[in-house]
Structure 1
């Protein structure tokens, strides 16, 4: 539906933006000036403790000076409540007392038809409910009780029963004045082509109404009560009011809880969704028996930025998860993705909740894999890479998948991520094929494990060699920055020029950064299979520490888990709290400042040594300038360190359950 600009302006002018926003924030009394229409609050879009979110009633605009988000009345509702634009206009028009224009006659006729069909579905739901509550539905109620579904949940989801018999529903609704043609169009009755009398679609089934996002009954799902009955689950056919490829079961209940908790859960069937909802996870929806569609992906992103697809952990569930990948990739966007939780031992959510309760289910959700990992597992789990041709085939498979991603920024991120993984995988496979041992030659790759004393152990899943212990003062800072460049590629790209000019005191770190910069520039368009062996082995030392063993991951089944960059999270435990992006970038920049400060100190010492015996006026000027610059940078680093420490302390105070495992660390 299109709205005239004048109508939108009228709504904005009649309704102060601060009134709309105030439902989500608390104004800061010290900074706000209501008389001038000037308001400040902590941003509702990211975590912060000092108000940087500004609302200007005079311009009808809001902006956060922390995360950069901005918009007007309509954008605020679509972004905070998951409403579509027409829904936001309708809600705000009602608040502002602005009448919306009547639709054109043809549109009004279609709307009337839709309304009539939903009225028919509502009558059907009431009929099924009455039979369910009657003596005729006693065995169906017993079945629901065996599934441990409470009476309150049965009432909330309007459980019903379609009794055995050819035309019970048809007769009941005809008596209510509903025309047979409407019953057929609503998908409730089937009319044979051979002229035989029409008959009920649903017979001897537990009936669950399916609602649209406005809470209107538009279809039904029915589970057979006959142990031999097929199909086990039967949904309404597509109708003018029911589109399987775009709708989601329970969406009207789940949208707001999912948006507020920033967690949406997608399960395979509506009985699973009901069990998960009863367990306290209100932001749960279910697909409706069709392949996961692009339209459903986009709709789910109105609920949460990274919904969790929670399918059974059996072969069928894994296959369904794999099929959904091809639907998701084309519509990926910055900040919008999916996670996958494949339940253990082939269990479905209902089984898991019955055995381990809500806590056990929540623990499984916490193990959810990012989409990129599931893509990687799908393509590599059965791949053979023991010849150049097979390496090239695997690389082409990834290239073809990445090419389907329409968003350029996301496509570039996936390309770099998979090229890094492939480089590591090919390197490890090549090394294993050579029969590498812990001989200490240059062909070593793996992860650094700092040990006490002057020696550390460097290893890759059974390959070990001794390496020199770190002796540089900034070893930890340099290693952390290297890991952050891999983990946060956006930050690496944004600060590439500065990073490429850094001088690390540790040779391993310097070689890694040189190779990573080359990987991101000179080798960007070359075949991984052709160049992976050209990269310095020291590049793979850091890469393997951060990414883990790609070879082991490729040989493991998808449900076995994934390496999770634990080393970086142990170096920076604050990352376990999922801090806001601006905090991570502030840390990233601070580490660069610390490394540059070390570089300045070395330059000053070198200058002092050079002029120690023959100090002239020019030398004195250079030393004085370096000393002043060094003093200023030390003060800046100290301030940054203190500010980061204070922000981290506030985050920990806000989340007292923060896991301190890993010991004390910076920030």
Structure 2
């Protein structure tokens, strides 16, 4: 249904934005001025300690000065509770006492059909629940015990049992007044084309209801109890209520937990999702036995900016991840992506939570890898680089994939990151081909960047320089946005300064050159420092592979928990500020040494003002770093359930 602007304005006028938002935040009494319709709170969309979320009743909008979230009453419900727009309008209209327009006859007819179908499906759900508790449901109950499904979970998910008879459900539906045609359209009965009598679609199966986002049962998944039965899982067919390519299992329960935690976990099957949910991890959903679609992607992004897709670590799981990546690439957009978790040793989520509980599963989720990393591994796996033509072919293939990304900012980020990766790959390959690793000209390896002397009362500034450069490689768009500021800073470690300048050259001279051009033009020390600040992929003696960026994650452990890019951006800005303050302090110290009795008064006053500014900026930096540490603590707690204190983000 379409809603005209006058109707929406009427709802907005009756419901102040503070009333809608106030149910989910606590207003800050010191900053808020209710008489003026001016309210402040900590943002409900990201973790923070100081209120930066503003509600303005006069203008009817909210805005967070920290994460940028903004909108009206309807937008708030869609973002905070995962409702779609029509659902938000319906809820607020009812609350405001505004009558919605009557739908046209065709809409009423379609809605009547959906109501009839929903009624039939609900009758079937209750029938299956009753049969599960009856003596004939014993095989299903025994299967549930073997799978570790407890009674509380079975009741919450409304487990049921479909009797192993041809028309048990059909007879019940007829007795309940459900027409045969409605039952067929709802996917409950099958009507043979040869004119034979209709019969039950589900027979001898454990029944798992599938709910829509409003919590209504719209379909079923049936698990066979016969060891030789096929298919193992049988879903309802497409109906006016049920569309496999758009729906997600358990999303009506998971969406609030996803909003609170900032992430959504997606499993391959709904039994896995149920096991994970039962273990206490509420922000979990699953696709419904179909390929990952653009609608799935869009729906998941309504609940979290970077959902984690959890696959088995076998060949089939990796293939499924690769297919998902091909669907995701064209719709990637700034601030939104996916992470991929591959479970070890052929285990699935159910195996992990039954053996090790929620901690074991969340431990694997914390190792999830970003889409860009999985894409890179897919493209270079088995690639032959022994000729210029084969190197060029790999570069062309990667460029073609990047061109699929419609968001130009994201595409540029991928292009820059993959350009550095390709150059490093070519160098590593050629180095191995020559035997002993070393410089192309000198024939000897370059040492890693040495540490600079530590300034009294300050963190290890060389570590900060390394973290900044590692973040520049991991998040090239952050580097690109701040590269002029970085260029004005002189790094104390010369090798790091040279690397920074090389990165600047790659970004500034981006277009019109091939990777081969950059590869040939870069000094070998670039690759040694690249590994030192970021970390090549390595394989341990036990066969476990440690992904790219492991050295950056060692220095900045919060990255292991996939914080939002806005969090990383704040880290980046504060690190630059710390280096800027170091440079300012050095300038002041140098100027102070030159102050004598003959120094003009205005010069002395200027130095004094600079010193005051330095002190003020240091206090502000300390405050923001403390806030960021608290935010990091909340991110860790949301991901792992642990509330232990987070150490300093950098030392």
TM-score (ref. length: structure 2):
0.89
- Aligned positions of 1:559-578 closer than 5 A: 560-567=545-552, 569-570=554-555, 578=563
Q: Which residue of 2 aligns with 1:239?
A: 239
Give 2:389's aligned residue.
389
Q: 1:122 to 1:475 in 2, by over 3 A?
A: closer
Instruction: Give distance in 2, aligned partners of 1:439 and 1:406.
Output: 39
How far does the alpha carbon of each residue in 1:44-91 deviate from its partner, in whole angstroms, 9 at most, with x for none? 223332222221111112222333332211111112112111111111
Within 2, Cα distance between the matches of 1:367 and 1:665? Answer: 21
Aligned partner (choices 644, 655, 663) of residue 621 of structure 2: 644
Which one is further off, 172-181 or 227-236? 172-181
653 and 340 in structure 1: CA distance in 2 versus 1, 3 angstrom threshold: closer
Contact 1:313 1:343 in 2 (8 A): yes
Q: Given the alignment of the two structures, is residue 301 of structure 1 paired with residue 301 of structure 2, yes or no?
A: yes
1:468 positional shift: 6.5
Partner of 2:263: 263
Q: Aligned to 1:593, which of 562, 580, 586?
A: 580
> What CA distance in whole angstroms lies between the structure 2 residues aligned with 1:488 and 1:556?
30
Equivalent position to 2:571, from 584, 591, 616: 584
User: Match of 2:234, SS?
Assistant: strand
- In structure 2, the partner of 1:41 is 41
> Is the Cα–Cα contact under 8 Å of residues 481 and 592 in structure 1 kept in the other structure?
no
Which of 637-646 and 509-518 deviates more? 637-646
Cα displacement (A) at 1:382:
2.4
3-state SS of paired residue (1:587): helix
Report deviation, 1:543: 1.5
Residues 48, 653 of structure 1: alpha-carbon distance in 2 compared, 3 angstrom cutoff = closer
- TM-aligned CA deviation for residue 553 of structure 1: 7.3
> Over aligned residues, Cα RMSD in angstroms?
3.1
Q: CA deviation at 1:492?
A: 2.2
Match in the other structure for 2:639: none
Which digits, 9 at most, give the CA deviation of each residue in 1:555-608, with x for residues without a partner? 999x834133434652x5677785835642441331441464377469869x97
- Partner Cα separation in structure 1 for residue 483 and residue 518 of structure 2: 22
Change (3 A) 1:375 1:468: closer
The residue that corresponds to 1:453 in the other structure is none
Alignment of 1:155-554 (within 5 A): 155-437=155-437, 458=448, 470=452, 475-550=462-537, 552=538
The Cα offsets for residues 396-423 of structure 1, whole Å up to 9 and x where unpaired, read as: 2221221111211111111111111111
The Cα of 1:629 is off from its aligned counterpart by 5.8
Residues 6-39 of structure 1, C-alpha deviations (whole Å, 9 max, x = no match): 1111111111111111111111112222122121
**8 A Cα contact 2:269 2:286, kept in partner:** yes
SS in 2 for 1:218: strand
1:66–1:359 Cα change, 3 Å: closer
CA apart distance, 1:549: 1.9
The superposition leaves residues 321-355 of structure 1 with CA deviations (integer Å, 9 ceiling, x where unpaired) of: 12111111111122211111111111111111111
CA distance in 2, matches of 1:517, 1:96: 55
Q: Which moved more, 1:508-517 or 1:148-157?
A: 508-517
Q: Distance in 2 between matches of 1:77 and 1:584?
A: 30
Secondary structure of the residue aligned to 2:59 is coil
What SS does the corresponding residue of 2:303 show, helix, strand or coil? coil
- Structure with the bigger RCO (C-alpha within 8 Å, sep 6+) is 2
Distance 2:462 2:399 in 1: 36
Aligned partner of 1:86 in structure 2 is 86
C-alpha separation between the residues in 1 aligned to 2:250 and 2:282? Answer: 9
Conservation of the 8 A alpha-carbon contact between 2:62 and 2:71: yes
Q: Distance in 2 between matches of 1:629 and 1:489?
A: 37
Please report how far the alpha carbon of residue 630 of structure 1 lies from its aligned counterpart in structure 2 after TM superposition. 5.7
Distance 1:367 1:11 in 2: 45
Specify the alignment match of 2:458 in structure 1.
Answer: none
**Residues 29 and 633 of structure 1: CA distance in aligned 2, closer, same or farther (over 3 Å):** same
Higher mean Cα deviation, 59-68 or 295-304? 59-68
Task: Determine the C-alpha separation between the residues in 1 that align with 2:439 and 2:240.
Answer: 71
Q: Write the distance in 1 (CA, Å) between the matches of 2:399 and 2:531.
A: 23
Structure 2, gaps ≥5 residues long = 456-460, 634-642
Worse overlay, 409-418 or 636-645:
636-645
Distance 1:344 1:638 in 2: 51
Residues 92-141 of structure 1, C-alpha deviations (whole Å, 9 max, x = no match): 11111111111111111111111111111111112222222111111111
Tell me how far 1:364 sits from its aligned partner: 0.9
Q: 1:452 aligns to what?
A: none
Residue in 2 that maps onto 1:110: 110
Distance 1:102 1:443, change over 3 A: farther
- Residues 482 and 542, structure 1, Cα contact 8 Å, conserved in 2: no
Moved more, 103-112 or 627-636: 627-636
Query: Does the CA contact (< 8 Å) of 1:503 and 1:595 recur in 2?
Result: no
* Contact in 2 for aligned 1:385/1:426 (Cα 8 Å): yes
Q: 3-state SS of the aligned residue for 2:55?
A: strand
**1:146 is matched with which residue?**
146
Q: Distance in 2 between matches of 1:255 and 1:217?
A: 17
**8 Å CA contact 1:403, 1:411 repeated in 2:** yes
How has the CA–CA distance of structure 1 residues 603 and 201 changed in structure 2, closer, same or farther, with 3 Å as cutoff?
same
Displacement of 1:495 in angstroms is 2.5
What's 1:462 paired with? Answer: none
In structure 2, what is the Cα distance between the partners aligned to 1:333 and 1:643? 33
Unaligned runs of 5+ in 1: 447-456, 459-466
CA contact (8 A) 1:428 1:445 kept: no
C-alpha offsets along residues 631-652 of structure 1, whole Å, 9 cap, x if unaligned? 5445434433332223334555
- Cross-structure match for 2:7: 7
Q: 1:435 to 1:491 in 2, by over 3 A?
A: same
Q: What is the deviation of 1:445?
A: 6.9
> Alpha-carbon deviation of 1:504?
3.6
Aligned residues: 633
Looking at structure 2, the residues matched to 359 and 556 of structure 1 have their Cα atoms a distance apart, in angstroms, of 23
In structure 2, how many angstroms separate the alpha carbons of the residues matched to 1:385 and 1:155? 57
Shift in Å, 1:309 = 0.8
Report the CA distance shift for 1:269/1:35 in structure 2 as closer, same or farther (over 3 A): same
CA drift at 1:479:
3.6
Q: 1:469 to 1:228 in 2, by over 3 A?
A: closer
With structure 1 as the length reference, what TM-score do the two structures score? 0.87
Is the Cα–Cα contact under 8 Å of residues 219 and 235 in structure 1 kept in the other structure? yes
Which of 231-240 and 168-177 deviates more?
168-177
The whole-number CA distance in structure 1 between the counterparts of 2:296 and 2:330 is 13
Q: Provide the secondary structure at the position in 2 that maps to 1:382.
A: coil
When residues 439 and 218 of structure 1 are mapped into structure 2, their CA distance, relative to the original with a 3 A threshold, is closer
Q: Is the 8 A contact 1:174 1:180 kept in 2?
A: yes
Partner SS for 2:345: helix
Moved more, 43-52 or 594-603: 594-603
Would the alpha carbon gap of residues 659 and 576 (structure 1) be closer, same or farther in structure 2, given more than 3 Å must change?
farther
